[in-house]
Amino acid sequence: MSHFSLFVFSLIVALGFGYVCHILAERKLSKSRMELAAAEARGKPYSDEVKAYMLGSVGFIPCVFAFFSFVSFVFALCHLAYWIFP
């Protein structure tokens, strides 16, 4: 494969991992928001520290996907550089 096709492939992989990371993180945050709203509706709201933790932590798996996306993006930039400057 040429460097340009490897660049395109790495870029597609990076975008795929980034999309999966976004979806997983958004699911976790929306679940936390629903839990906080349900606690408010029951009349037993969580403390501010718990709210900050629930809305601030995305989870381990989305962070792993973000790391793979970043590494794939770096590989894509390297292949682009090798394609432009052989």
Q: Above 90 in pLDDT, residue 1?
A: no
Name the CA radius of gyration of the chain, rounded.
Answer: 19
Residue 13 has a pLDDT of 92
What are the residue ranges spanned by the domains of the chain? 3-84
For the stretch 21-69, pLDDT in tens is 999 888 988 988 898 999 989 988 888 888 888 888 778 888 888 999 9
Cα dist from 36 to 32, 51, 61, whole Å: 6, 7, 22
Q: Indicate the pTM of the whole model.
A: 0.75
Virtual torsion, Cα 45, 50, 54, 59, nearest 10 deg: -150
Residues 6+ apart with CB under 8 A from 63: 21
